[in-house]
Chains A and B, each alone.
Chain A
């Protein structure tokens, strides 16, 4: 057997391996989309015609503390806090944690909200960097501001957890816009069952009309990079996370918008400092501890509470974000490796963890190997060109089917985007997303894996664009 024969043999086997992986992953996606459709149907039936003002006006509604870590956010903090204070929820406390800002964040808050220093008797249940001062607003009795030494987002959230008084805590970024009635919808699963965390849908705000900290007119993004991300977010939330509701629960609640039972988070030890995937790590830890202590901890996802975020519009910013996300995923998977195929953890160990490991974490490796192998196969003549083309069509078509089914789910249930123009634009982004953009994400995610193996743990630079008031569309 010559070297050429060995290479050809390897390439053939590799292609079969990739094909099997492709079938496995897409079968899992098919199950997820069916599960998401089922859950969406059930949710819609329960929510149709519901009077949410009952929860809003109820004396029995659980208190929610909104934790807002802020670091050098002087430009946007006043508007963000104002939007949070105006959320439609009866028993809400807003806890802003200034994480050692060097700009005028504290001055802006002092001026805007008439802050006075306070000295509450509180218990430091979770470790965090020293708290320098605490302030209470004379204008808004439910606003608490914590000024502390710089310790990062997780540390700021831990400091907030110590001071927050709510039964539930809502975590959000300073640059996330939350819809006014989102909390009313998010709180519902906590009333129904032993739920410790609830996630809500996050959408891309680029291109939408933003006024006074609210998205007043959702519109499909007009630029390619934001457009394909809008499609990606819809797919990730409406079928990825919703699908998991019935298949063993979610492992990720986005750090940009999630609601947690405070007691459970404190008992779990709060947010981890040494990972860039602290939101996922917390959920994995809480669920793991729940199984270990025989507690019925559930993590739910509610499809319609919407928070809007500004997606990066530069390749550099997006690349850094995706690299960080994948590095965070790798850190969490490694830290909780005991879960893998461990029957002690039920669906979490036997279904959810293996899925995240094989489909989410290792996908870029398999995709990269598959693409390189395909290229080599074509060059060496091992792979039939027409077969390769057909295979590409199948893969592209399947991806499009999943995306379009997600768009159908969105359209039939929420139809947030008004007008046919926006729908057509979304369709264009859906067609373009698998061509080029997805391959780029493979590169970024591979970088994340490599950096994880190198032991990198920093956040790197993060881009804050803020929300500009988008001009209103002109009538045609």
Chain B
């Protein structure tokens, strides 16, 4: 075979590929345009049917006809679109409508599929409709992280004890997305999480406590005082810092005492969090302990200690003024910066510990 023949073959192959690509590109465009024109009226009619069905407790077959005539993909799209803006009784009706159309059964079947994307698709539909408890509970332990995360998203609206325990176990999941979704769902659940969270914190140590303390700090409930006090002794600095944040939100003499101890913690993140928490509590007896922290090697500790002193009012400001004549130039600099702040201060959000 000569080089020229080879090139001719390549040109022929390229031409075939070009034709294929052209057909797909233009064909897809034409199909989309045709579909849009053909279905826009029917979709509008079906959308109205969904709205009517949600209003009526028992929709008539006549009402449902436009919806039934659509392809399953469109039915799902319309129902999910409506479900995102609905809650309570109307959402129940929407769910009943989905059952009536066979979409819930279909989604349950997808959730059992061997293909992860089909399970994900089923899980997303059931999340939108708020149905399929048994199927979704199984998916909380799915092998694929995106499916697990989707199941965790569903769980936010189902604060049952078993679901909460499963979510708590996912706080140290291998997948970052699952961890994030589990944390988010637990925060959304709110009050229902407190008792299981206390129990979880009492049973675990190390990284698991660290992950759970993030949720606890977000919930900031006074019932979490004793786990917070225990977490202040955790070996991981981040867990101790989060415990300090939580104590700062809960308050109380016992908590303030522990925060004073944390001011001498070896980790700068913990010292900064403790200083910030004491400032937030306005615990003025902490002023003599906060003042030396303006000589700390870590800038974040100096800043938080300075701001905390300022938040304590007169006693704190007195210490700040004294620090203006300190031997440590860093302490003097920070004290001056804090004292120079105007009365109404804009402060950027402190970085999370």
- Chain A residues engaging chain B, CB cutoff 8 angstroms: 45-46, 48-51, 53-54, 58-60, 63, 118-123, 136, 144, 163, 165, 167, 188, 191-193, 384, 386-387, 390-391, 393-394, 397-398, 400-401, 404-405, 407-408, 411-412, 415, 419-420, 423-424, 427
Hey, what's the 0/1 contact readout for B163-193 against A, CB within 8 Å counting as 1? 0000000000001110011011001000000
Q: How distant is A52 from chain B, measured CB to nearest CB, in Å?
A: 11
Among B26-34, B234-242, B316-324, which stretch is in contact with chain A? B26-34
- Chain B residues engaging chain A, CB cutoff 8 angstroms: 3-4, 7-8, 10-11, 14-15, 17-18, 21-22, 24-26, 28-30, 32-33, 76, 80, 84, 117, 120-121, 124-125, 127-128, 145-146, 153, 175-177, 180-181, 183-184, 187, 218, 299-300, 303, 306-307, 334, 337-338, 340-342, 345-349, 351-352
Enumerate chain A residues within 8 angstroms of B348, measured Cβ to Cβ.
Answer: 120, 122, 144, 163, 165
Instruction: Report yes or no: A58 in contact with B184, Cβ–Cβ below 8 A.
Output: yes
CA distance A49 to B181 in the complex (A): 16
Return the contact of A420 from the options B33, B145, B176, B351 (Cβ within 8 A). Answer: B33
Enumerate chain A residues within 8 angstroms of B124, measured Cβ to Cβ.
Answer: 48-51
Q: A45-B117, A165-B349, A401-B21 are in contact. Are A412 and B184 (CB under 8 A)?
A: no
Q: How distant is A399 from chain B, measured CB to nearest CB, in Å?
A: 10
Q: A120-B347, A415-B28 are in contact. Are A397 and B18 (CB under 8 A)?
A: yes
Return the contact of B176 from the options A53, A122, A193, A398 (Cβ within 8 A). Answer: A193
Give the nearest-CB partner of A166 in chain B: B349
Enumerate chain B residues within 8 angstroms of A48, measured Cβ to Cβ.
Answer: 117, 121, 124
CA distance A163 to B22 in the complex (A): 50
CA distance A243 to B297 in the complex (A): 46
Please name 15 further chain A to chain B contacts, defined as beta carbons within 8 Å, in addition to the given A54-B181, A387-B4, sorted by A numbering: A45-B117, A48-B117, A49-B121, A54-B184, A60-B183, A121-B307, A121-B341, A123-B299, A123-B303, A136-B346, A144-B348, A384-B4, A387-B3, A390-B8, A401-B17
Instruction: Report yes or no: B4 in contact with A192, Cβ–Cβ below 8 A.
Output: no
Instruction: Report yes or no: B18 in contact with A400, Cβ–Cβ below 8 A.
Output: yes
Instruction: Report yes or no: B180 in contact with A419, Cβ–Cβ below 8 A.
Output: no
The secondary-structure label for the interface of chain B is helix
Give the nearest-CB partner of A91 in chain B: B349
CA distance A398 to B340 in the complex (A): 67
Give the nearest-CB partner of A163 in chain B: B348
Show 15 A/B contacts (Cβ-Cβ < 8 Å), sorted by A.
A46-B146, A51-B153, A54-B184, A59-B187, A118-B345, A121-B338, A123-B299, A136-B346, A167-B351, A393-B11, A397-B11, A401-B18, A407-B25, A415-B29, A419-B33
Enumerate chain A residues within 8 angstroms of B303, measured Cβ to Cβ.
Answer: 121, 123
Enumerate chain A residues within 8 angstroms of B33, measured Cβ to Cβ.
Answer: 419-420
Q: How distant is B308 from chain A, measured CB to nearest CB, in Å?
A: 12
Give the nearest-CB partner of A19 in chain B: B3
CA distance A423 to B184 in the complex (A): 42
Enumerate chain A residues within 8 angstroms of B346, measured Cβ to Cβ.
Answer: 118, 120, 136
Return the contact of B341 from the options A119, A391, A412, A419 (Cβ within 8 A). Answer: A119
Instruction: Report yes or no: B7 in contact with A387, Cβ–Cβ below 8 A.
Output: yes
> Total contacts A to B, CB within 8 angstroms?
137
Closest 6 CB pairs of A and B: A397-B14, A404-B21, A165-B348, A45-B117, A390-B7, A118-B346
Enumerate chain A residues within 8 angstroms of B176, measured Cβ to Cβ.
Answer: 191-193
Enumerate chain B residues within 8 angstroms of A188, measured Cβ to Cβ.
Answer: 177
Instruction: Report yes or no: B29 in contact with A386, Cβ–Cβ below 8 A.
Output: no
CA distance A36 to B25 in the complex (A): 17
Enumerate chain B residues within 8 angstroms of A386, measured Cβ to Cβ.
Answer: 4
Instruction: Report yes or no: A391 in contact with B7, Cβ–Cβ below 8 A.
Output: yes
Give the nearest-CB partner of B8 in chain A: A390
CA distance A178 to B7 in the complex (A): 45
Q: A49-B121, A119-B341, A121-B307 are in contact. Are A423 and B26 (CB under 8 A)?
A: yes
CA distance A400 to B128 in the complex (A): 43
Q: A60-B218, A391-B7 are in contact. Are A191 and B341 (CB under 8 A)?
A: no
Instruction: Report yes or no: B184 in contact with A119, Cβ–Cβ below 8 A.
Output: no
Return the contact of B14 from the options A193, A387, A401 (Cβ within 8 A). Answer: A401
The secondary-structure label for the interface of chain A is helix
Report which residue of B18, B121, B187, B218 has the largest number of chain A beta carbons within 10 angstroms of its beta carbon.
Answer: B18
Enumerate chain A residues within 8 angstroms of B128, measured Cβ to Cβ.
Answer: 51
Instruction: Report yes or no: A411 in contact with B177, Cβ–Cβ below 8 A.
Output: no
Give the nearest-CB partner of B156 in chain A: A54
Give the nearest-CB partner of A404 in chain B: B21
CA distance A59 to B185 in the complex (A): 10
CA distance A48 to B345 in the complex (A): 45
Q: How distant is A188 from chain B, measured CB to nearest CB, in Å?
A: 8
CA distance A390 to B12 in the complex (A): 11
Instruction: Report yes or no: B21 in contact with A408, Cβ–Cβ below 8 A.
Output: yes
Q: How distant is B353 from chain A, measured CB to nearest CB, in Å?
A: 12
Q: A49-B124, A60-B184, A120-B346 are in contact. Are A420 and B7 (CB under 8 A)?
A: no
Enumerate chain B residues within 8 angstroms of A54, measured Cβ to Cβ.
Answer: 153, 181, 184
Enumerate chain A residues within 8 angstroms of B125, measured Cβ to Cβ.
Answer: 49
Q: How distant is A311 from chain B, measured CB to nearest CB, in Å?
A: 22
Q: A123-B299, A165-B349, A407-B25 are in contact. Are A415 and B306 (CB under 8 A)?
A: no
Enumerate chain A residues within 8 angstroms of B4, measured Cβ to Cβ.
Answer: 384, 386-387, 390
Instruction: Report yes or no: B84 in contact with A53, Cβ–Cβ below 8 A.
Output: yes
Enumerate chain A residues within 8 angstroms of B177, measured Cβ to Cβ.
Answer: 188, 191-192
CA distance A49 to B73 in the complex (A): 11
Give the nearest-CB partner of A116 in chain B: B346
Enumerate chain B residues within 8 angstroms of A397, measured Cβ to Cβ.
Answer: 10-11, 14-15, 18
Return the contact of A398 from the options B14, B183, B347 (Cβ within 8 A). Answer: B14
Q: How distant is B298 from chain A, measured CB to nearest CB, in Å?
A: 10
Enumerate chain A residues within 8 angstroms of B145, measured Cβ to Cβ.
Answer: 192
Report which residue of B14, B30, B342, B345 has the largest number of chain A beta carbons within 10 angstroms of its beta carbon.
Answer: B14
Instruction: Report yes or no: B8 in contact with A45, Cβ–Cβ below 8 A.
Output: no
Q: A50-B124, A192-B175 are in contact. Are A119 and B14 (CB under 8 A)?
A: no
Give the nearest-CB partner of A420 in chain B: B29
Q: How distant is A457 from chain B, measured CB to nearest CB, in Å?
A: 33
Enumerate chain B residues within 8 angstroms of A167, measured Cβ to Cβ.
Answer: 351-352
Instruction: Report yes or no: A45 in contact with B127, Cβ–Cβ below 8 A.
Output: no
Enumerate chain A residues within 8 angstroms of B28, measured Cβ to Cβ.
Answer: 408, 411-412, 415
Q: How distant is A156 from chain B, measured CB to nearest CB, in Å?
A: 18
CA distance A184 to B347 in the complex (A): 26
Give the nearest-CB partner of A401 in chain B: B17
CA distance A59 to B10 in the complex (A): 56
Enumerate chain A residues within 8 angstroms of B30, measured Cβ to Cβ.
Answer: 420
Report which residue of B33, B187, B338, B346 has the largest number of chain A beta carbons within 10 angstroms of its beta carbon.
Answer: B346
CA distance A407 to B21 in the complex (A): 8
Instruction: Report yes or no: B24 in contact with A408, Cβ–Cβ below 8 A.
Output: yes
Q: A60-B183, A136-B346, A192-B176 are in contact. Are A119 and B340 (CB under 8 A)?
A: yes
Give the nearest-CB partner of B77 in chain A: A49
CA distance A420 to B3 in the complex (A): 40
Give the nearest-CB partner of B307 in chain A: A121
Q: How distant is A118 from chain B, measured CB to nearest CB, in Å?
A: 4
Give the nearest-CB partner of B22 in chain A: A404
Instruction: Report yes or no: A404 in contact with B3, Cβ–Cβ below 8 A.
Output: no
Q: How distant is B78 from chain A, measured CB to nearest CB, in Å?
A: 13
Q: How distant is B142 from chain A, measured CB to nearest CB, in Å?
A: 14
